[in-house]
Structure formats: C-alpha cells, structure tokens
C-alpha cells in the first residue's frame, strides 16, 4: 500500500493461452540433430507449443485470449481498463505496439496501451509498472500481459537453442485495493555490459518445412547457454533475497515460488539458493518449454486455477531475460 494514497495493487484475475500445435521432443528428433533423452536430461522440456500463422495465433491473438480469461475471472470488462501493459519481443509488427492491437481485439476503448521490451523479464517489468501506476493513483485497473512467439525467431538448424522455446501468453488484472493481500513489492535490474550472451541477430532464420507456416522474423536468437545459466542463477537468487528482505520474509515463508521456466537445472539451483523446497516450486517447463514473457503468467494462472495458491499465501515470482534483465516480485495472494 502506498503510504500517501493508501492504494494497494491487487491481482484479481489470471488468464493464459497457447497455440493448438504441440511439438514433442520426438517430433524434433526428425528435423534437428538431437534426441528426446538429450533435451529432457539437459532442460526438463518434453514438448512445446508452436503457433501457426494461418490459425489466428499471432502474438496479439494469444495475448487477447489470455486477457479475456483474466478479465472474466476478475469480474471486469474491457471497458473497465485504464491501461494495458504488454511485455514481448515478438510483436505482430515493428509498430504499432502489440498492446494497441490487443486493445482493439478486446475492445478496451478507454485504455492506454504500450509494450515493454525486456526479453523474458517482460512480464515482471510490466507488473512493476502497473504496481506503481496504481499506487500513484494514475490508474484503477491495469491489464498486464506477458506474451511471446519465440518460434518466429528461432533458427531450426541451431540444435542447442531451437529446442528450448515455445509460444504462449499469460495475463493478470491488477486493481486498487486497501487490504493486506496485494503485490508487496517488485524489484527489477539490468546489466547491459553482458548483452552479448543473449540477443537477436539480423538474418532470417531457417524453418523446417514440417513446422510451417511460421512466417519468421528477419532476425534470429543467438544465445551462449553456459553464460546465461551462471548469470541467471546468481542474479535471480540475489534479487529474490533482496525482495524477501524488503518484506521481512525468508524462503520458508514462501508458499509457492514461480520462476521463469527456462531450464529445470536453473530452477532447481535457484530454489536451493533461496531455500525453497522443490515441492513449493511450480513448474510447467516440461509441457511448455521457455515461453519467454509468457512463462510466469502462464504458470501463475495454472497454479491458481489448480488451487495450489490460496488467499493470503506469499508467492515469489522471479525471472531473467535478454539485456540481461531480471526481476522479482513478492505477492500476498488476493484471490
């Protein structure tokens, strides 16, 4: 709660959406020099969802579907929205913002809309913005979306990286409240000196015919996995401790840790450093792979709909992405 305004940002609805086409590790064995055993052992991923360009599965389509589900849960309509903040690096077009396309698709006529580009940290960066807009009294109801179609920027000859990612969207509705259940704090960081560990390089990626129609972007993902692994674990662990300390909490107080779903080895290393047992860590990486900005809100929606999170529970959200960027948010669950 803001000391001056008395307004507390509360998550009151969650939603998620993903493409129809599931691509398993066994499917990838037929098009990439890899194996199901290698992918599963090194990453924990067994399948991912890959959007089709001919099935109304653009980034804005997935985002709109997730948003409507979140609004329905929240008991709100698009007309109630003051702001739409969307984290992505794979908008439908170079401009306008993908958030503006979502605004039109859900008919949120009075909402301002803009995108945030922070790699896989896009959702947490967007949540931080929404939190502060509500605390400041500038907005009453904000739609926060994390969505990416990383498949459009994958080189399907890059065996180390193309197997890691999938497509999907998640959304939350945040509104002003005055109770103890709220977003307690959100913390964000970046370190541009290390940008070259994960970035987009100009040049259209190769797409295997069996995965068409994808309609790739004119650039592709370049990533040094070992560097990303080390930086991600240390950065997320450090910021998690900072976020917990800011709220007089420890890992033992966390009912559920929802980390960015990038690699199962990163997740287990993070949980150990934050002192959260794996039975209090939510993962869906085996089914979705790394959906970038969609990762945390998809997992959050699943955990809530399954009844894993109860009202008043302390939930820790933590992420790492290109930039590199990273962020952590501590939420006292309010639904």
pLDDT (0 to 100) of residue 178? 87
pLDDT (0 to 100) of residue 3? 59
Number of domains the chain contains = 1
The residues annotated as belonging to the active site are: 120, 260, 290
Tell me which of 215-219, 256-260, 316-320 is least confident.
215-219
Instruction: Give 179's pLDDT tier (boundaries 50, 70, 90).
Output: confident
Q: What is the mean pLDDT of the chain?
A: 96
228-259 as b/e, with b when 16 or more CB fall inside 10 Å? bbebbbebbbebbbebbeeeebebeebbbbbb
Which helix (H) or strand (E) segment is 8 a member of? Answer: strand 8-17
Residue 229 CA to residue 19 CA, distance in Å, equals 28
Instruction: Give 330's pLDDT tier (boundaries 50, 70, 90).
Output: very high
Query: Is the separation of the CB atoms in 161 and 262 below 8 Å?
Result: no
CA Rg value for the chain: 19
Specify the 3-state DSSP secondary structure of 191: coil
Q: What are the pLDDT digits (tens) for 189-201?
A: 999 999 999 999 9
Query: Is the separation of the CB atoms in 198 and 322 below 8 Å?
Result: yes
Residue written as tokens 């940002």? 9
- CA 46 and chain centroid, separation: 19
- CA 62 and chain centroid, separation: 13
Q: What are the pLDDT digits (tens) for 220-252?
A: 999 999 999 999 999 999 999 999 999 999 999
Report whether pLDDT(2) > 80.
Answer: no
Reported pTM: 0.97
Instruction: Give 7's pLDDT tier (boundaries 50, 70, 90).
Output: confident
**Mean pLDDT in residue range 136-144:** 97
Give the rounded percent of residues in the chain with a pLDDT score beyond 90: 97
pLDDT (0 to 100) of residue 6? 75
CATH of the domain at 220: 3.40.47.10
Host domain of residue 206: 1-335
Report whether pLDDT(214) > 80.
Answer: yes
Residue 117 CA to residue 61 CA, distance in Å, equals 18
Token pair belonging to 188:
């964000």
pLDDT (0 to 100) of residue 5? 64
Residue 4 CA to residue 21 CA, distance in Å, equals 49
Longest Cα–Cα distance of the chain, Å, equals 60
Token pair belonging to 263:
């690699």
**Mean pLDDT in residue range 120-147:** 98
Q: What are the pLDDT digits (tens) for 26-72?
A: 999 999 999 999 999 999 999 999 999 999 999 999 999 999 999 99
């Amino acid at each position: 709660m803001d000391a001056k305004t008395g307004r507390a940002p509360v998550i009151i609805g969650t939603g998620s959406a993903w493409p129809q086409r599931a691509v398993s590790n066994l499917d990838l064995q037929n098009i990439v020099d890899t194996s199901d055993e290698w992918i599963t052992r090194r990453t924990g991923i067994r399948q991912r969802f890959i959007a089709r360009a001919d099935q109304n599965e653009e980034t804005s389509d997935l985002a709109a579907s997730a948003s409507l589900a979140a609004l329905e849960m929240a008991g709100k309509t698009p007309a109630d929205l003051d702001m739409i903040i969307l984290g992505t690096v794979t908008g439908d077009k170079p401009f306008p913002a993908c958030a503006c396309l979502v605004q039109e698709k859900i008919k949120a006529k009075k909402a301002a809309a803009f995108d945030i580009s922070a790699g896989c940290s896009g959702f947490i960066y967007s949540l931080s913005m929404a939190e502060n807009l509500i605390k400041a009294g500038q907005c009453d109801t904000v739609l926060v979306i994390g969505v990416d179609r990383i498949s459009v920027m994958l080189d399907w000859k890059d065996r180390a990286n193309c197997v890691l990612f999938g497509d999907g969207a998640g959304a939350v509705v945040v509104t002003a409240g005055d109770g103890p259940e709220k977003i307690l704090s959100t913390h964000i960081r970046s370190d541009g000196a290390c940008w070259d560990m994960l970035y987009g390089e100009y040049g259209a990626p190769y797409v295997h015919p069996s995965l068409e129609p994808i309609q790739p972007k004119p650039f592709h993902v370049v990533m040094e996995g070992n560097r990303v692994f080390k930086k991600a674990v240390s950065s997320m662990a450090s910021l998690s401790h900072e976020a917990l300390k800011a709220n007089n909490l420890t890992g033992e107080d966390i009912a559920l840790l929802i980390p960015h779903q990038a690699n199962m080895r990163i997740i287990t290393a993070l949980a150990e450093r934050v002192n959260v047992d794996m039975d209090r860590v939510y993962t869906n990486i085996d089914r979705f792979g790394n959906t970038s900005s969609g990762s945390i809100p998809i997992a959050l929606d699943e955990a809530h709909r399954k009844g894993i999170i109860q009202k008043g529970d302390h939930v820790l959200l933590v992420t790492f992405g290109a930039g590199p960027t990273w962020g952590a948010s501590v939420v006292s669950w309010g639904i």
